[in-house]
Structure 1
Amino acid sequence: MSHRKTLLAASIIATLCVSGALYAQDTTQTTTTSTGVGALTRSQDTAQNSGNSAANAKQLATVTVTGIRASLQASMDTKRNADAIVDAITAEDIGKFPATNVAEALAQVPGVTLDRSIPGTQRVSIDGMDPSLNVSLLDGHPVAQAVWLFGDSPNRGFNYSLLPPEILGQLEIIKSPEARIVEGSLGGTVLMHTVQPLDVASGTISGSFGANYNDMVGSSRPNGSVFYSWHNSDKTFGVDVSAGHYEEFTSREGMENYGYTSVSSLNTSALAAGNTAIQNELNAGQIKPGDQVPNEVSASNFQQTEKRDSVLVNLQYRPNQNFESTLSLMYMRDNLNNVNQSMYPWATNQPGGITSLVEGPNGIIVGGTQAGTPCLNSTTCTSTANTTMDNYARGSTVTTKGVDWKGTYYGDGWRLAADLGVSASRNPMTQANKEIYYGGAFDWSLYSGAQYTDPSTANNPAYWADNGWGGNYETILYKSRDTYGQVDFSKDFDGFFNELLVGARYASHWESQVENAFTGAQVLTLDQIGYGGLTNLSGLSDLGLTDSFITHVQTAGYNAIRNAVLSTPGFGNARDANVYFDNTWAIQQQNTAAYVQANFGTDDVHGNVGVRFVHTQFTSSGYNVPTQCSVNDTFDCVFPTGFGWVTQKSSFTNWLPAVNVAWNITPDLILRGAASETVAYAPYNEMAPYFEANDNVLTAAGGNPDLKPYRSANFDSSLEWYFNDHSMFAASVFYKDVLNYIVNAATIQTRVNGSWTLPGYLQAAGNAQVAAGLCTAAGICQYDVTAPVNGGRAKVKGGTLSYQQAFGDSGFGVRANYTYSDGSTHTGGAMPYNSKNSYNIAPYFEQGPYSASLSYNWRSSYLAGGYVAGAASTYVDGFKELDGSAAYQINKNLSVSFNMLNLLNSKYYAYLGSKTQLSEEYVTGRQYMLEAHFKF
């Protein structure tokens, strides 16, 4: 047994000794039944691995509160009565505080931070941990989720933007694990509960309809939802239906840069082209050989129209007090088609045209000039300046279906529950790309972008065209499937230990993708593709970027880009072998678990102690292709032994002890302590043998089937003071000692450029890569490859402060929280998504028919991943957001609300190393939502 495990076991024993001493001081020895999460040990919630008591099921129905105070009190009561360290929010929180999705509602919880790298919040961190290291469950079961963005890196973090908040009644965030809770989380477990039909009045119908508007795109979209619930007069059978339609037009506008090149390397290529401008500046001491030059500054415009439809049906059967059964059916279809336009004047692609470079702080070149001559109506332009505009039309429709059943039999002091279900999600993504070219001269700045020397020519579509390469068309069929089944048994006892829980669970997750790229698209001018006029990117104006970035040519949009590629005569016959072999993979994870847990309690102390056994098996599959086949980029390949479709298996066994103790020092003052050991797992694709490359910028991402699970010893404690029915102050501390923390390692790998044999690629990009010394004439290139490795130990320590209070009968109140989280690997490196400081302040007012609230969130800088395949990990600067909400209750059946999000239009700024080394910066605009709500 390792020394670390010995320390954990000793801590658990010490905690039990404290609880035993407290019990010995209680001469009455009265057994109490806790509510909240503690009571969920008697629930049907599979996440809690036991069956639901009728009393607790009714408690969930109380989320149909009618005011902010009642809502906050319900959330506070859940926290107060729990055995573990828990936070909760209710449906009213989602409705009365500014939020468009579940993630934004979770931002009100201490320790929760959001990453806003793209419109539609996806990633949620808890206590400073990577979003992939959380577990999110809907009514106790997993929900399969396919990747929605072409080229994005899959992660285990739940994509809350795909889940309509209308179907939820309450959410709980469990921060200190219990043995009965599903494994897989280092940060926290998010339990999302839907409303059950036997817990609300028969004939209940409610819903909303309205519109949302984004000021940066100047467009509004409709949304609406309806909930209906019915049960018979005996309350033995009921059904409820939640249905919703949501649309949102979003945009992300900004500037990007893909990597840096040293001045010395750039000068070598410039001298080879007969250009001495860089050498002259080196000789004059104006710049240094080791200075880093941004490869390009890119004007980026991402636009997406989301159309989401969802239906959730619950059928509940309770013929008597001894038996209960629920069948849940789920269907979600989320259309997320988008267009991503990146216009990047290259600073390093044509060294022969560089006339000057400007050195800035920290050895970063922050500006320069590029000479060049534009070409009129030419698809074979040669110039010493290179501006390339990528135009990606991406089709994305995520379809998710699920069926889940749970049944519980209540005996005399015992319960037996069974749960099983399956959910599947698929997304047949597509991506059409037209990469047009302009050869005119420009000045560029890392602070303000590029400005063309002759704007009138640059804004003339006749000077833009494909340049030897007509783009391509790619498809990814992405699939995800979860199946599970479990059995739970609990038995009540008299005495200090009042309940014993045992259970077993099997879960299987399958994730796969098949990627194809079709080449040979026709070479066209911009007019032939479809000219869409000049841009008017107000977001770039807000960032202080140049006129050429704000106003430049563009295509006619999604359909024009797709048609220009797909209308090529005979298109679709030429399929790229390297893309298929490198990016087609599958992985299955199978978890077999069993647990035993004892709950204990008196009037003054309650909690639980238990252990969970988990056996995990991974099966990773992908292609291993001989080098010669990659060089020839061909499907006509003979695979020797050990090549072709290969499969690798690995398995791991873990024992996970956990203890939680809550001591009621006084009726209003509660001290909690918890110790546990947990495991979590790397994102699925990271465990697959794949290689996803961006041939234009020579970056790539790879997988590693040899990754081991994360393992962590965790210690948590909190002190909570409930000084009236609507008010509390709480302080908590947490410490996580992670034995195996997976990190991304960057390496330089010599690989075959998969695009080298594509028609026109050499002229468009390859020749410049050869001139820069990055590739050989045969297309053997130096790729910056990022891949995960077993990174050794890491530690996270920190704490939270949370406060909420209603100020008498004034109608005013406030809730606020602050989180400190200090995380680092054993080498001192940063941990992804870990902000050292974050806080939220949310004052509110509610009196009579009026209610209003504000919410201000801020988080300090943190490490995040690269945006495109293999892009270097970036740091994100501190981010702030101000949101507001106002509502008016017309009568008991009707109300209206107005939500305002991102009122500051805050800048998302990412950098490499120092803040002077730009990676990307974006704004997404302010969003306004006007809705009418009804309830009968």
Structure 2
Amino acid sequence: MHRKTLLSAAIVSCLAFSAHAQEAAPTATDLDTVTVTGIRGSMEKSLDTKREANSRVEVVTAEDVGKLPAHNVADTLQRLPGVNISSSSADEGGFDEADRVSLRGTSPSLTQTLINGHSVGSADWFVLSQGSNVGRSVSYTLLPSELVSSVEVNKSSQAKLQDGGTTGTVNIITRKPLEFANQITAEASIGAVRSDSAKSNDPQLSGLFNYKNDEGTFGVMVQAFSQKRELRREAQEIPSGFFQIDPKGTVAQSNPDLAGVYAPSLLGSTLFEQTRERKGGLVALQFKPADNLTLGLEGFSSKMDANNYNRNFMLWGSSIMGDVKDDDGNVTRPGQAPDAGYVVKNGVLTNANFTGQAGRDYAVYDMIYREATAKSSYITADADWQINDTLNAKFQAGSTKGTGSTPRQFIAEVTAANGGGANWTTHGAGKPIDWNVGGDISPAGVTSFGTWGNQEVTAEDKEKWFTADFSQYFDSGTLSSIDFGVRYADHKREALSPEGASPGDIWSELKNGATANFPGGFAGGIGGNFPRKLWYFTPGALKDAILNNSDWLSNNDGPTGRHNYGAEWKVEEKNFAGYVQANFVGDRWSGNVGLRYVNIDQDINTYQAVADIANADVSSLFGKWKALAYNNKHDRILPSANIKFDMSDDLVFRFAASQTQTLPDFSALGASSWGSDLSRVGGGGNPNLKPVLSTNFDANIEWYFMPRGLLSVGAYSMNLKDYVAFGTETQMLFSELTNQLEAYQVAVPVNSNGKVTGVEVAYEQPIGDNFGVNANYTYADGSTSHTWADGSNNLLGTSKNTYNVGGYFENDTFGARVSYTYRSSFLIGLKGPSPYYQDDFGTLSLSLSYKATDWLSVSFDALNLNNPTLKYYQSSVIPSAFYENGRQYYLNFRFKY
């Protein structure tokens, strides 16, 4: 109630101020379409749009077709104040390309991404993001920069904006056929990308054709793209973090000082390789049957094949030190204590040596080759009807679908280093762990073989919607217009795990299969001493052995089938919204006040593991499951107010207040509990979660001290009610290793409260006719009432400090731009029961362009020039991962007619 009182007072104050209005001022929708090219022109257009808008908005305008300030849309947005990016959506670790966007120190799920103002179905290539860790953010790897005309980042809310973005909305705007200046426009881009880590050169192709008739009443645009890229990531990973030594176990009983001490569960030397092939296009038609009516039809499709091979050779600490028990709880193999002289610091076993014991395996080696795809598409039909001089109507109907699929997983898990012993030495969170295992780690030293997960996994994200928006304009007075309308959407997110393969005698064929070695100089930039000269089965050998010796069952969902019900869930949401927004203008000021009503009906279907077949609705080789169904209903009125005051010709002050709402992540609502058999940790959902409600205040002052020049300072606050954090609890889950229910430490989402306050500073200035500089800084202070397992109250995704520094040069033929982006450390989520963080990192990029003729230009983009090591940690003394991705170089030739 206190938040509502504050917000109501702010809105009433804005209304009272608006009563003194006299004259109209232009808004962002009043701007004429202007075609500009070049760095200077795009910056000027972006600042003009920002200045004239009534709400808090950041704008990036493409210099020309396919010429954003960076090669990737998300990489472009990270240069704006208050914008953060991340390269992954679940536990796949850090990559060299941005994939998720978030605003003002929050998680990506609280930022909404739209295309032309509508939702876009999204999916991921990574198997965990397809099923057990599914947010509401959009994967930017499916959105090529060639599609973009401009990108608007709405930091303050308006009633007419689609609900769903608690912290803001990113709206990607595509080109329209009737906006082109010439009757016929044809463009093509031919180029290549060089990955210095993968040592690969791959093609990058795109093209555009646009036609409009002489009368400007009909137009058609066709865009197509085909882009391939090889990735190689070299790493040290600690996949399940550090575990606490069981105080009741054998090791703690013989060494009481080790009870509850943290030790590495798995220490991995990790090589990941992937081929990403993205193909698709966009077709748009516009038709004006009358001067007051424009009809549009648009379709988009993007598919990325993302086959990948991950090899992780690991010291198995939790197996070495943990007791193995039978079904009755009797210890059948006691854990091994470290040799005398081990060291414990700050509750961590920092130095340990284990003399080899015959019959004990000290290493486990996972080789996982996955065929994977991600697809996104939409189709929209719209009408813009100027009913009369003062009333405008816009209608849109559309559907969108995103699909992520892992149709085959070819997995070998072998144990090795039998009787060879092991050792490790940690050096805090900032440096890799030195570790080694003895014994035979060659293919001949494999002591056991297993395979799991050769189960098809598919994710589907669908939405159908209809919108009707009206604007009533007034010729005089303070009230310039009223916007009102309705929206209905039916959204469904579903995780499916159809039939899998029943493995046969795979090892007899695989053990004689072809092998290869880790690349020379593997992980040289990371440092540390750990196994690097490693072998692996080739993807072909692994794939052939599994396919030739597995029975892929179909139409068998019975007790002996391989249907993993526990990996299936569905969330369906019907969303009705209506809004009214009053827009005001006056002498040197403008603003708006509005209300948006949102009504959501949510159905959730999931499964719960049970021990007794009598309590099960379905069962298979993956366990026995009880089907559960939930229904949630949420309705709420969301107020908003924005005001802009021109203090002088070059000085603008803004204030905004609003309430915004985001529903919890899909997997947070629907996912069944799951766990890793190697470490006995996992995650799950909570269908009783409430939506996140944020009360937002924003103030900003902007000084446009010269053309293309800006200095702005602002402050913001967000109070997050029912913010989603994660607690941990012990749950009994089905283990594929023991074929029974076992105890797992499971991360479970819970409602909490949170807040973020911060400051944003931005500066842009041309220097003479050809040079210019830009810089911005964002400070975000975020916290939650939830206390994590490490005792902290950090908010997911909050980097306290983010900054960007850049400079450019441009004349009539040559352009250059260099930029550096920095983000401080932030909490990602949980690895089992323990929080884990990404450490601070910075990236340096360079872009060069040369206009050879009116029809030919050449561009060169270099990304990750400083080749940063991406570091992750569990605490200040416990690391989680170190990743090296290498640099990327893009060379493109653009032809224009």
**Both structures adopt the same fold (TM-score exceeding 0.5):** yes
In structure 1, distance between residues paired with 2:796 and 2:587: 42
Deviations 1:554-595 (Å, cap 9, x if unpaired)? 1112x3322222211545489887972211111111110000
Equivalent position of 1:929 in the other structure: 890
Aligned residue runs from structure 1 range 526-565, under 5 A = 528=511, 530-536=513-519, 538=521, 540-546=523-529, 549-557=531-539, 559-565=540-546
In structure 1, distance between residues paired with 2:844 and 2:113: 26
In structure 1, distance between residues paired with 2:615 and 2:543: 29
SS in 2 for 1:349: helix
Q: Pairwise CA RMSD of aligned residues?
A: 2.6
For the 8 Å contact 1:97–1:884, the answer to whether it is kept is no
For the 8 Å contact 1:300–1:343, the answer to whether it is kept is yes
Aligned residue runs from structure 1 range 595-744, under 5 A = 595-629=579-613, 635=619, 644-744=626-726
Deviations 1:139-196 (Å, cap 9, x if unpaired)? 1111111232112311111111111110110000000000000001112111111111
For the 8 Å contact 2:489–2:575, the answer to whether it is kept is yes
Query: Aligned in 2, Cα 1:452/1:789: closer, same or farther, shift over 3 Å?
Result: closer
SS in 2 for 1:68: helix
Query: Aligned in 2, Cα 1:896/1:310: closer, same or farther, shift over 3 Å?
Result: same
Shift of 1:336: 0.9
SS in 1 for 2:25: coil
Equivalent position of 2:57 in the other structure: 86
- Among residues 801, 817, 828, which one is paired with 2:776 in the alignment? 817
Equivalent position of 1:897 in the other structure: 859
In structure 1, distance between residues paired with 2:108 and 2:77: 13
Q: Partner amino acid for 1:339?
A: Y
SS in 2 for 1:697: coil
In structure 2, distance between residues paired with 1:94 and 1:682: 36
Matched, 1:368 2:352: yes
Query: Aligned in 2, Cα 1:327/1:632: closer, same or farther, shift over 3 Å?
Result: closer
Normalising by structure 1, report the TM-score.
0.87
Equivalent position of 1:522 in the other structure: 505
Deviations 1:121-154 (Å, cap 9, x if unpaired)? 2221111121001111111111111232112311
In structure 2, distance between residues paired with 1:585 and 1:101: 32
For the 8 Å contact 2:518–2:533, the answer to whether it is kept is yes
Where in structure 2 are there 5+ consecutive unaligned residues? Answer: 88-92, 322-334, 788-792
SS in 2 for 1:550: coil
Normalising by structure 2, report the TM-score.
0.91
Deviations 1:797-827 (Å, cap 9, x if unpaired)? 1110001111122x21111100011111124
Shift of 1:454: 5.5
Aligned residue runs from structure 1 range 448-459, under 5 A = 448-449=432-433, 452=436, 457-458=440-441
SS in 2 for 1:132: helix
Q: Partner amino acid for 1:436?
A: V
Query: Aligned in 2, Cα 1:749/1:801: closer, same or farther, shift over 3 Å?
Result: same
For the 8 Å contact 1:470–1:521, the answer to whether it is kept is no
SS in 1 for 2:17: helix
For the 8 Å contact 1:630–1:752, the answer to whether it is kept is no
Aligned residue runs from structure 1 range 333-372, under 5 A = 333-351=303-321, 352=335, 355-356=338-339, 358-359=342-343, 361-372=345-356
- Among residues 430, 436, 441, which one is paired with 2:421 in the alignment? 441
In structure 2, distance between residues paired with 1:630 and 1:751: 17
Shift of 1:72: 0.4
For the 8 Å contact 1:432–1:474, the answer to whether it is kept is no
SS in 2 for 1:690: coil
Matched, 1:132 2:125: no
Query: Aligned in 2, Cα 1:345/1:885: closer, same or farther, shift over 3 Å?
Result: same
In structure 2, distance between residues paired with 1:925 and 1:677: 42
Aligned residue runs from structure 1 range 27-42, under 5 A = 29-35=22-28, 39=29
For the 8 Å contact 2:209–2:221, the answer to whether it is kept is yes
In structure 2, distance between residues paired with 1:453 and 1:826: 43
For the 8 Å contact 2:377–2:401, the answer to whether it is kept is yes
Equivalent position of 1:804 in the other structure: 764
In structure 2, distance between residues paired with 1:866 and 1:7: 35
Equivalent position of 1:193 in the other structure: 173
Query: Aligned in 2, Cα 1:83/1:267: closer, same or farther, shift over 3 Å?
Result: same
Shift of 1:485: 0.1
In structure 1, distance between residues paired with 2:533 and 2:391: 71
Matched, 1:9 2:8: yes
Equivalent position of 1:48 in the other structure: none
**Higher share of residues assigned helix:** 1
In structure 2, distance between residues paired with 1:204 and 1:893: 11
Shift of 1:781: 2.6
For the 8 Å contact 2:644–2:653, the answer to whether it is kept is yes
Deviations 1:203-235 (Å, cap 9, x if unpaired)? 111131111111111112111111111011111
Q: Partner amino acid for 1:364?
A: V
SS in 2 for 1:367: strand
Query: Aligned in 2, Cα 1:365/1:893: closer, same or farther, shift over 3 Å?
Result: same
For the 8 Å contact 1:745–1:786, the answer to whether it is kept is yes
Q: Partner amino acid for 1:825?
A: T
Shift of 1:15: 2.4
In structure 1, distance between residues paired with 2:528 and 2:553: 40
Greater shift in the superposed pair: 537-546 or 313-322? 537-546
For the 8 Å contact 1:630–1:754, the answer to whether it is kept is no
Aligned residue runs from structure 1 range 733-812, under 5 A = 733-757=715-739, 779-791=740-752, 793-809=753-769, 811-812=770-771
Aligned residue runs from structure 1 range 373-452, under 5 A = 383-410=359-386, 411-429=388-406, 430-439=408-417, 440-447=420-427, 448-449=432-433, 452=436
SS in 2 for 1:596: strand
In structure 2, distance between residues paired with 1:358 and 1:94: 61
In structure 2, distance between residues paired with 1:747 and 1:892: 65
In structure 2, distance between residues paired with 1:307 and 1:321: 43
Aligned residue runs from structure 1 range 309-328, under 5 A = 309-328=279-298
Aligned residue runs from structure 1 range 121-160, under 5 A = 121-152=98-129, 153-160=133-140
Shift of 1:780: 4.2
For the 8 Å contact 1:332–1:401, the answer to whether it is kept is yes
In structure 1, distance between residues paired with 2:696 and 2:561: 46
**Higher share of residues assigned strand:** 2
For the 8 Å contact 2:384–2:394, the answer to whether it is kept is yes
In structure 2, distance between residues paired with 1:165 and 1:644: 45
In structure 2, distance between residues paired with 1:361 and 1:91: 53
In structure 1, distance between residues paired with 2:247 and 2:506: 32
Matched, 1:911 2:873: yes
Equivalent position of 2:332 in the other structure: none
Query: Aligned in 2, Cα 1:263/1:93: closer, same or farther, shift over 3 Å?
Result: farther
In structure 2, distance between residues paired with 1:217 and 1:931: 20
Deviations 1:83-126 (Å, cap 9, x if unpaired)? 00000001129966763321001011110111134323222111
In structure 2, distance between residues paired with 1:67 and 1:630: 70
Equivalent position of 1:289 in the other structure: 259
In structure 1, distance between residues paired with 2:294 and 2:482: 21
Equivalent position of 1:377 in the other structure: none
In structure 2, distance between residues paired with 1:720 and 1:906: 34
The percentage of counterpart residues that share the same residue type is 29
SS in 2 for 1:217: coil
SS in 2 for 1:740: strand
SS in 2 for 1:891: coil
Shift of 1:865: 2.4
Deviations 1:684-710 (Å, cap 9, x if unpaired)? 121115122222211111111111100
For the 8 Å contact 1:442–1:450, the answer to whether it is kept is no
Query: Aligned in 2, Cα 1:844/1:97: closer, same or farther, shift over 3 Å?
Result: farther
SS in 1 for 2:7: helix
Equivalent position of 2:190 in the other structure: 209
Residues matched between the structures, number: 853
Q: Once superposed, which parts of structure 1, at least 4 consecutive aligned residues long, lie more than 6 Å away?
A: 573-579, 630-634
Equivalent position of 2:142 in the other structure: 162
